Amino acid sequence: MKTLKVHGSKGISRIFIGERLQNLQKYTDSRQVVIITDRNVRNHYSKDLPSCYIIEIGTGETMKNLDTVQRIYLDLLRLGADRSFFIVGIGGGVVSDITGFVASTYLRGLRFGFVSSTLLSQVDAGVGGKNGVNLRGYKNLVGTFNQPEFVICDTDLLKTLPEKEVRCGLAEVVKHACIGDACLFSYLEAHYKKALALDRDVMEKIIHDSVVIKSSIVNRDERESGERMKLNFGHTLGHAIEKTTGIPHGEAVGFGMLVASRLSFKRGWLSKHEVTRIEALLKKLNLPTRLKVDGNLVIEAMTKDKKRRSESLNFVFLHGIGEAFVEQIPIKELGAGINEIIRL
C-alpha cells in the first residue's frame, strides 16, 4: 500500500492506494458511522460493508442535486446525527461529491472520508477536496472546498466496473501524464494493455502517479486561483462535448485533450510528434479520436457553462507532454480552431 497526503487549509487528507474496503473501520475511530453509497456498490459489496446505517442514492450524474442532498439531511436528522458522527462515501464521483457536500454543510461540518470504487474517482474525483452538486444544468454550481480525512483507493473494487468506465478513468490518467509527468505518459504507452486488463501492479502504479500530480497541484493551489486550473486540461471542451453529444465524461475529455493538443501545436508550443503520440495513446485506450460534433454547438454549450459572459476564457495548453500552462484564448478563436480540427 502507498500513502499520499493532500494539505488542505482545513486539514490533511490521506490517500491510501492499494488499501482494502474491508479495512475501512481502521480509519473511522469507531465513531458512529453513516455510509452514503449507491445501488451498484451495495449490490456488489454489501457483505464487505461494516454494519452501520447506510444511505443509498441512485446512480448517475442526475442524482447530484439538492433534492438528493436534502433527502440525506433528513435521514441524518432522523438518526439524530451530531458532530460525533463520521460520514463515509463509498462509490464514484457522484457519491464523493454528494458525501463531501453533505458532510461539509450538515451542522456546519461533520468528519468524512471516501472509499473510491471507480477508477475515475481513485485518480481524480475523490481527491482534491472540491465537493459540489449541479443546479439547473450548471455543473457543480453549489459546493465546498473541504478535504476528506482519508480516501481509500481499493483496486480490487475496479474488477466489477464496466469496461467503458475503465477507459474513461484512464483518460484522466492520460490527463495527469500530459500536464505533469512525461514518464507516466511513456509508461502508459508501454503498459496500456495491462492497464485495460486491470493488472494490479500497473493500476497501483498509475493511480499513485496520477494522485502525485493531482495532490501536488492541490497542495500548491487548493482553491483554484492559478495552477490548479491545469487540471482542467481537456475539460473546458470536454464538458461541453459531453453536454452536446451525451458521450461519457472520459471519452469527451479524451477528445477535448486531443483538440487542446492540436491547438497547442497550431500556436507553436507542441510538436507534431507529440500530438501524434497523444492521439495514438488515446486510440490504444479505445478512446474516440474522431467525433461528429458541431463546433458551434460545443462553443454555445461551453459559454453557457461558464456561468458568466466573457469574450475570452482560460484554456489549458501544453508546452510539451508533461508540461501544461494556462493562457487566455478568445472564444471566437477557440470556436474556429475546434471547427477546423473537427473537419480534419
The contact set with ligand GLY (CB under 6 A) reads: 125, 128-130
Q: How far is the CB of 130 from ligand GLY (least distance, A)?
A: 3
Q: How far is the CB of 139 from ligand GLY (least distance, A)?
A: 12
Q: How far is the CB of 148 from ligand GLY (least distance, A)?
A: 9
Give me 87's grid cell. Answer: 460520514
In angstroms, rounded to a whole number, what is the distance separating the alpha carbons of residues 86 and 184? 35
By C-beta, is 113 or 129 nearer to ligand GLY?
129
Q: How far is the CB of 147 from ligand GLY (least distance, A)?
A: 9
By C-beta, is 199 or 221 nearer to ligand GLY?
221
Reported in sequence order, the residue ranges of the chain that DSSP labels E, i.e. its strands, are 2-8, 11-17, 33-38, 53-57, 86-91, 111-116, 130-135, 138-145, 150-153, 312-320, 323-330
Give me 322's grid cell. Answer: 508533461
> What is the chain's alpha carbon radius of gyration, rounded to the nearest angstrom?
20
CB 166 within 8 A of CB 158: yes
By C-beta, is 235 or 243 nearer to ligand GLY?
235
- Phi then psi dihedrals of residue 148, to 5 deg: -65, 150
By C-beta, is 101 or 106 nearer to ligand GLY?
101
- Phi then psi dihedrals of residue 92, to 5 deg: -100, -155
Task: Identify the H or E element spanning 202.
Answer: helix 200-220
By C-beta, is 40 or 99 nearer to ligand GLY?
99
Q: How far is the CB of 320 from ligand GLY (least distance, A)?
A: 24
By C-beta, is 97 or 279 nearer to ligand GLY?
97
Q: How far is the CB of 77 from ligand GLY (least distance, A)?
A: 26
Give percent helix, percent strand, percent coil of the chain, each to the nearest 5.
55, 20, 25
Give me 138's grid cell. Answer: 450548471
